[in-house]
């Protein structure tokens, strides 16, 4: 997608020496890129959320393995880089998926070919993610078109939470792909963007990328979604996910569950855009998904732009008050109307997933 009219992916190679990424901690106030050259750089970028979003975390980790193989193509180095990268963030299963895929390609290869194979595989993971996200958009567009047809030309009002946009992936995004494709097809859409406290991925990233593409949108406080649903001003919800278990339970950014509850109460269809690498076939239900506990500082402080243009972090609570900060929650499958995947739309249950992914 484009920033200031120039097409970007979220991660791209610079020769075979480095990959460049967009520093998402600085958006929307400043657009800056930085180069990653070593597995430690990739681990740090994931941990500090310079890169974030399930698919992008996986892709960055894949390049981390490639850098490790360039420095020292031994099996010991492969395992060490794998373990370091796997420890960066616990909830998005795409990280484990990408690391396993890299390991599977490399472990039987000769030392001499490991870097070349790893670099190629990391690039393939990125290219495939673009294809997957585009296909999610194609299938989602069919649904959006049907819903828009009932609106007599009025915009389709879509609510989304967090950032499951192209910034969270390589391009297109998962939840945003049908939105971009509908907008590009001339279907009038309007997006309610949950601000997504505490890190504000909605206000800082989703609104930014929708704005860059010219998609009409409105940022709302996280607490406002239920009100708009009751008032009939939300036609559907669509979110991304960090991990879907075999039974269809969905881990996503904290606050997703409350939106799904409100959607159920108001008969608003709640869809999850789901790339297949985000399915965790090893877990029976969402109760077993590890939920990342993050720093209390993210709740107790906020960062924003000052009138003079500088960026500052301020405290918002009385000194000494403790805070808790779970990064994700689990939405039970029964609250999800359907999964929009790269192979089509299915019910949020094991049979639905297996009908599209029998292998």
- Residues serving a catalytic function are 242
Q: Does 52 bind ligand MRU (CB under 6 A)?
A: yes
Question: To 5 degrees, how large is the angle CA 166–CA 85–CA 62?
Answer: 55
Phi-psi region at 223: left, alpha or beta (left = phi > 0; alpha = psi -120 to 50): alpha
Pick the binder of ligand MRU from 58, 137, 225, 327 (CB under 6 A).
Answer: 327
Comparison of 52 and 190: residue with beta carbon closer to ligand MRU = 52
Taking CB atoms, the residue at the shortest distance from ligand MRU is: 240
Binding mask 266-295 for ligand MRU (x = CB under 6 A): ------------------------------
Rounded distance between C-alpha atoms, residue 93 and residue 214, angstroms: 32
Q: Report which of 73, 100, 97, 88 is spatially closest to residue 42, judged by C-alpha positions.
A: 88
Site for ligand MRU in 157-176 (CB under 6 A): 162, 164, 168-169, 174
Comparison of 60 and 252: residue with beta carbon closer to ligand MRU = 252
Q: Does 126 bind ligand MRU (CB under 6 A)?
A: no
Q: How far is the CB of 47 from ligand MRU (least distance, A)?
A: 11
For tokens 């297949």, the residue is 276
Comparison of 73 and 90: residue with beta carbon closer to ligand MRU = 90
β-partners of residue 21 are 11, 34
Pair of tokens at residue 268? 């608003």
Q: Please give the size of the binding site for ligand MRU, defined by CB under 6 A.
A: 17
Q: Report which of 105, 106, 86 is spatially closest to residue 96, judged by C-alpha positions.
A: 86
3-state DSSP call for residue 237? strand
10 touches 171 (CB < 8 A): yes
Pick the binder of ligand MRU from 9, 183, 243, 253 (CB under 6 A).
Answer: 253
Q: How far is the CB of 48 from ligand MRU (least distance, A)?
A: 11
Return the CA Rg of the chain: 20
Interface residues with ligand MRU (CB under 6 A) are 52-55, 92, 162, 164, 168-169, 174, 201, 240-242, 252-253, 327
């Amino acid at each position: 997608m484009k920033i200031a009219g120039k097409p970007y992916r979220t991660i791209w190679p610079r020769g075979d020496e480095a990959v460049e990424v967009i520093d998402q901690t600085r958006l929307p106030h400043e657009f800056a890129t930085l180069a990653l050259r070593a597995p430690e750089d990739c681990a740090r970028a994931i941990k500090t959320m310079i890169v974030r979003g399930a698919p992008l975390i996986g892709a960055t980790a894949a390049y981390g393995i490639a850098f490790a193989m360039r420095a020292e193509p031994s099996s010991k180095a492969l395992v060490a880089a794998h373990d370091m990268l796997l420890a960066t963030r616990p909830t998005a299963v795409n990280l484990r998926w990408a690391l396993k895929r890299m390991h599977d390609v490399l472990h039987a290869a000769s030392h001499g070919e490991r870097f070349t194979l790893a670099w190629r595989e990391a690039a393939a993971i990125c290219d495939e993610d673009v294809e997957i996200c585009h296909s999610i958009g194609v299938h989602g567009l069919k649904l959006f078109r049907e819903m828009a047809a009932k609106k007599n030309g009025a915009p389709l009002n879509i609510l989304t939470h967090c950032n499951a946009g192209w910034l969270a992936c390589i391009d297109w995004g998962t939840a945003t792909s049908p939105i971009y494709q509908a907008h590009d097809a001339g279907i009038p859409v309007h997006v309610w963007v949950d601000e997504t406290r505490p890190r504000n991925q909605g206000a800082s990233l989703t609104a930014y990328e929708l704005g860059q593409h010219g998609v009409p949108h409105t940022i709302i406080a996280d607490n406002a979604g239920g009100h708009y649903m009751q008032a009939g001003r939300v036609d559907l919800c669509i979110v991304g996910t960090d991990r879907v278990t075999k039974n269809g339970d969905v881990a996503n950014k904290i606050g997703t569950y409350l939106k799904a509850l409100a959607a159920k109460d108001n008969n608003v269809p709640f869809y999850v855009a789901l790339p297949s690498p985000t399915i965790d076939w090893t877990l029976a239900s969402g109760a077993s998904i590890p939920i990342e506990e993050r720093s209390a500082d993210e709740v107790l402080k906020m960062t924003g732009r000052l009138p003079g243009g500088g960026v500052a972090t301020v405290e918002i609570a009385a000194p000494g008050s403790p805070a808790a900060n779970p990064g994700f929650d689990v939405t039970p499958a029964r609250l999800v109307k359907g999964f929009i995947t790269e192979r089509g739309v299915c019910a949020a249950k094991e049979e639905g997933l297996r009908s599209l992914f029998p292998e």
